[in-house]
Amino acid sequence: MSINIKSNFGPTTKSLGEQGAFRNAMYHSDKDNKRENNKQVSKTNVKDQNTIQNIKSEDLRLLSAKIQGELTNVEEQMSIAQTAGKALIEVEKYLFEINELLLILGNETSCNSAMREADQQELEELIGQINKVADETSYRHKPLLDGSHGVRGVVNGKHLEFIDMLPDSKTSPLKGYEIYVEQQSKRSEICGQIPLTQNMVDNQEILTIEENGILNRYIAKSGDTVDDTFNHLAMWICELEMPIEIVKNENNILHIRHLQYGSDYNFRASSSTAGVISLESDKLTYATPGCNVMGTINSIKCIGHGQFLTVPKDEEDIGGLTVRYTGNELPPECFAGIVSVVQNGFKFIKGNSNYQSNQLSLRNFHASYLGMETENVSGFKSLQNINVLSPQKVKDSIIVLKKSLSEVTEVKDKIESVCYSIIREQMRELQVKFGQKLLTSQIPDHDDNVQALAKKTKSKITQDTFESSKAQAHQNQGNVLSLLK
């Protein structure tokens, strides 16, 4: 039995060797394609990693710029406060020198006119130094102690004068605060019932005056006219520096009045003839008491002291607002006028919620604006007016100086509070807030430059926290707390 096997291979069919070569070529081609695809994937991954790294680096640079801006702002605040504080230390030094001078003069028993003139010149030089500090203290060419960065007040009304306000007070509404005076201030005084006559003068009328526990007696000179007697009496009072005055009138009625306003000042007087000044002969009679001004500001009942009307310090927004009413009569319908105040103090950045105060108000420290709210016999309205040419003026100068010192010390203490309780705390907050954020950022280990930037930024913040506290405003500020650019 025979088997016939037929094949499909025709004359064009490739040999087995050729088929093997083809398969081998296809295998290598596929391998090359896979290798190329792997290269493309690798390039894509590197590109994505570089993009992420660039984004993180840019975020870090933006964060660094933000830190630099906030730290520079805090440093500028510190420089402003320290510049003002250093100037007030100088002002305080001159005030202490004035105080030393006044105490020495106050203890002197004799008064040499030539020496007093020299002392007066020394006093004026010290006051001039205070004014020089107030005029020249500035930060970046902007004056600090001229009152432009404090509370400023304007009054609209007859016999009204703006005196002072607490440094943390707020700006008043556009309409201001209405002032009503219900009682004008008065001085204690005593007036005789009968006129002084020539016969009384010739009989050597005796007048006795007691003020502040000191008793003085005047004896009229026989032969003087009544007018001469009044003039000599006024000169005698002036020489003794008693804080009283003789009020002249056409009826020759003896009228004696205290120089200071308010209920705190009084005196007694008597005459040898009943009715000339006292109701009974040689019996001291109390003068009619003076009284303080009374009224309201913005419908708030105020404290009166002499001619000064003051809002209680615990009143929100306007506590301590003080005006002076010098009128001798009540204004029509008791409406004295309007006072408007503007708060232009420095606004400093707050720290955390525990630090509420962010305002530094700097009053005018020129001598003409210090010690204004003082009642004194010599009529000194401010530190600028004080002098030492008489014992009474020395006493009154001490009163004005005491008020001036308290005003300077109050602001100086406020500056210290700003510097050490607020600004330094803000520096620590920034150090914690941004420094930790920088070091905990997801920065790749292989990028040494970015890691170095974070470390240097953290180090720079820590280092300059101390250095910024010593920065002086008149130095070139630049970027004292600058970060890596």
Asked if the model's pLDDT at residue 460 lies above 80, the reply is no
Asked if the model's pLDDT at residue 458 lies above 50, the reply is no
- Segment 161-182, tens digit of pLDDT: 999 888 778 889 999 999 999 9
Mean pLDDT, rounded, for 224-241: 92
Asked if the model's pLDDT at residue 75 lies above 80, the reply is no
Asked if the model's pLDDT at residue 211 lies above 80, the reply is yes
Nearest to 330 by CA among 159, 106, 175, 81: 159
Q: Count the residues in the chain.
A: 485
- Segment 319-330, tens digit of pLDDT: 899 999 999 999
User: How much is the pLDDT for 124?
Assistant: 95
User: How much is the pLDDT for 365?
Assistant: 94
pLDDT band, very low/low/confident/very high, at 2 (cuts 50, 70, 90): very low
User: How much is the pLDDT for 58?
Assistant: 67
Asked if the model's pLDDT at residue 1 lies above 70, the reply is no
Ranking 71-85, 297-311, 432-446 by mean pLDDT, the lowest is 432-446
Strand boundaries in 130-219, DSSP class E: 138-139, 142-143, 151-156, 160-164, 177-183, 187-191, 206-211, 214-219
The phi-psi region of residue 112 (left if phi > 0; otherwise alpha if psi is between -120 and 50; otherwise beta) is beta
User: How much is the pLDDT for 7?
Assistant: 41
Distance in angstroms between the alpha carbons of the first and the last residue of the chain: 101
User: How much is the pLDDT for 217?
Assistant: 95
| CB distance 77 to 85 below 8 Å | no
Mean pLDDT, rounded, for 16-34: 56
- Upper half-sphere CA count for residue 351 (Cβ side, 13 Å): 21
Mean pLDDT, rounded, for 271-298: 95
Asked if the model's pLDDT at residue 39 lies above 70, the reply is no
Nearest to 397 by CA among 408, 382, 410: 382
Asked if the model's pLDDT at residue 455 lies above 60, the reply is no
Asked if the model's pLDDT at residue 483 lies above 50, the reply is no
- Domain spanning 187-286, CATH architecture: Sandwich (2.60)
Instruction: Report whether CATH 3.30.499.10 matches the domain 55-149+351-469+477-485.
Output: no
Helices and strands (H, E) in the chain, number of each type: 7, 20
User: How much is the pLDDT for 11?
Assistant: 46
User: How much is the pLDDT for 444?
Assistant: 42
Predicted TM-score (pTM) of the model is 0.67
Ranking 74-83, 186-195, 295-304 by mean pLDDT, the lowest is 74-83
- Upper half-sphere CA count for residue 109 (Cβ side, 13 Å): 0
DSSP string, 194-249: S---HHHHHTT-EEEEEETTEEEEEEPPTT--HHHHHHHHHHHHHHTT-SEEE---
Task: Tell me the C-alpha distance between 327 and 323, whole Å.
Answer: 12
**Could you state, in order of their start, the residue ranges of all structural domains in the chain?**
55-149+351-469+477-485, 151-185+292-343, 187-286
User: How much is the pLDDT for 34?
Assistant: 56
- Segment 128-144, tens digit of pLDDT: 999 999 999 998 888 99
Cα torsion through 88, 93, 98, 100, rounded to 10: 150
Q: Is residue 74 classed exposed, middle or buried when 0-12, 13-18 and 19+ CB atoms within 10 A define those classes? A: buried
Mean pLDDT, rounded, for 362-386: 89
Tell me whether strands 300-301 and 303-305 are parallel, antiparallel or unpaired. Answer: unpaired
